[in-house]
Amino acid sequence: MYRIVAICDGVQPGCGVEAARNITAEFAALGDQYVSAQCEWNGSELVLRADSEWDENGGLTADYFYKCVFACATELAPSGGVSIKSVEEVHESA
């Protein structure tokens, strides 16, 4: 399994909390494509943490996160964007 952390900057503070809640719901609606996914607003960025069985470089997760940000964040600065902070392979213990 791969643990992916992606960051989105440029979201205006007034819509960060609601956008995070909506993005978490969007990832949950994907069903079993993600073992878990949680988006949080840290006061200046949206931070997505997602566990995936198949996205070894985080690219597909970051792309979907970007689409969700555009759909859920009502105020986004032109300079805002999504970047992959980390991708870690996680082995489940028996």
19 neighbors 72 (Cβ within 8 angstroms) = yes
pTM over 0.95: no
Residue 83 falls within a domain, yes or no? Answer: yes
Give the whole-angstrom CA distance, residue 14 versus residue 2. Answer: 32
Per the structure, the count of domains in the chain is: 1
- Average of pLDDT values for 48-66? 94
Domain that holds residue 61: 2-89
Residue 94, pLDDT score: 46
pLDDT score recorded for residue 91: 84
Specify the pairing of strand 76-89 against strand 2-11: antiparallel
Asked if residue 94 belongs to a domain, the reply is: no
- Structure confidence at residue 93 as a pLDDT band (50, 70, 90): low
85: helix, coil or strand? strand
Residue 71 pLDDT > 80: yes
9-31 pLDDT, tens digit per residue, is 989 888 999 999 999 999 999 98
- 68 inside domain: yes
CATH of the domain at 7: 3.30.70.100
- Identify whether 47 is part of a domain: yes
Top pLDDT among 54 and 75 is at 54
Q: Is 53 exposed, middle or buried (0-12, 13-18, 19+ CB in 10 A)?
A: exposed
Inside any domain, residue 60? yes
